[in-house]
Amino acid sequence: MPANATSLGWLGTGRMGAAMAGRLIDAGEQITVWNRTPAKTAPLAARGAAVAGTISDLASCDIVFVMVARPDDLEQVVCGEAGLLSADRRPAVIVDCSTVSAPVSASVRAAASQAGVEFLAAPVSGNPHVVAAGGACIVASGPAATFERVRPYLEQIAAVAVHAGDGEQSRLVKLCTNLYLGMIVQALVEVTSLAEKGGTSREAFLTFLNGTVLGSDWTRRRAGDLVARDWTPTFTTELLRKDFDLGLDAARSLEVPMPVASAVYQLIQSAVGTGMRDQDFLALYDQQARIAALEPG
């Protein structure tokens, strides 16, 4: 590595982290990785990544990406006793790709800032397969200059990397997409049940809808489950409610009325209370079919 090159570290090589770090390797970057369970770094090491023995070792990289499962993990690997900020030589930038709430993000950012480290909140949309295939989407927030410094690497990882603002906006943007998802699914079950009660099968209706410009990768991916009424959870109704809790709290704080989102929120609550709590949120279809007095085919 040339003396003036930027060195990259990757903390957290679970399924998502490994897929993302793999994209950097594929793009020709030399990276150093660390994971709590060291065995999980092996596949990346086999592809050329260096492996750090401790987080402190990783901390000497210029930019360290973090991809961990839970807010507690983030706080620990960054602010904890043996965390990135405790090392003698600290990174210039920490890029957190985990999905955490705005308050947690702000608190970690403050700690980093205190230690002279820049922080980018950069959650990702996409599952490991999509990420590996280059289809991920990253929304990042933090100082614009920091974003510009990291952008080349984000664009190696993902198809889209946007800068959402100077603070915790990326967290809100993620909530917004989940609010949008909840509204889409209710919209979908309303029109599907209407077409169905009019005599059109769910399959025919969804095939048509997905053929039009209104179809999305999501509606196409889930059409089969909706046709089969397969509510095996990909994301439970209760978890969707959690995102609505957070998203509508943010809307309240910002004084943004959300007429449709709040109507959907109440419908989600109804579903949670009438047996769909742990089912996939597509089960909103069953609630709609019930009030439509529709005997689903």
| Binding region for a second copy (CB under 8 A) out of 14-22, 23-31, 36-44, 164-172 | 164-172
35 versus 186: smaller Cβ distance to a second copy: 186
Considering only 37, 39, 116, 212, the residue that binds a second copy (CB under 8 A) is: 212
Considering only 193, 236, 237, 279, the residue that binds a second copy (CB under 8 A) is: 193
Non-local (6+) Cβ contacts of 167 within 8 A are 106, 141, 142
Alpha-carbon distance of 47 to 21, in angstroms, equals 11
Cα 7–170–232 angle (5° rounding)?
A: 105
For residue 156, the Cα-to-chain-centroid distance in whole angstroms is 17
Considering only 13, 99, 146, 186, the residue that binds a second copy (CB under 8 A) is: 186
| Binding region for a second copy (CB under 8 A) out of 4-12, 38-46, 64-72, 186-194 | 186-194
Binding track over 218-247 against a second copy, x by CB under 8 A: xx-x-----------------------x-x
Task: Label residue 296 left, alpha or beta by phi (over 0 means left) and psi (-120 to 50 means alpha).
Answer: beta
51 versus 294: smaller Cβ distance to a second copy: 294
Number of residues engaging a second copy in binding (CB under 8 A): 84
Non-local (6+) Cβ contacts of 273 within 8 A are none
Cα 79–83–88 angle (5° rounding)?
A: 110
Alpha-carbon distance of 111 to 94, in angstroms, equals 11
1 binds a second copy (CB under 8 A): no
Considering only 28, 53, 198, 297, the residue that binds a second copy (CB under 8 A) is: 198
The helix/strand/coil state of 167 is coil
Alpha-carbon distance of 240 to 268, in angstroms, equals 8
Binding track over 119-158 against a second copy, x by CB under 8 A: ------xx---x------x-x-x----------------x
265 binds a second copy (CB under 8 A): yes
